[in-house]
Amino acid sequence: MNATIWHNPRCSKSREALALLRDAGIEPIIVEYLKDPPSRAELARLYARAGIAPRDAMRKDAPKVANDEAALDAMAADPALIERPLVETDKGVVLGRPPERVRDIL
């Protein structure tokens, strides 16, 4: 199975999600999104596939935005606003909070 994790190694939830993938025998593509941020279009694609409104995918301490378009603009401009971890497999995309949600797409 193919998998990609948009990962922050300093985040315990992100590390837990990565461990779940590896425990399932999957070695994912790891994208450290703070160093290699996804484009606005990639974020829109991921959230659409996950069925998540972009505003709901921002970190809880992020500034409030007017709508989903503004959320995508803000996250593309400042990837630190992206809630993590975001995991994509052949079966779908989930926001791994809690990390156990990753099991839904394995």
Query: Given strand 29-32, what is the order of strands in its sheet?
Result: 29-32, 3-7, 86-89, 92-95
Residues taking part in catalysis: 11
- Strand extents, DSSP E, the chain: 3-7, 29-32, 86-89, 92-95
Shortest CA distance to 50 belongs to which of 102, 103, 94? 94
Q: Residue 103: which H helix or E strand, with range?
A: none
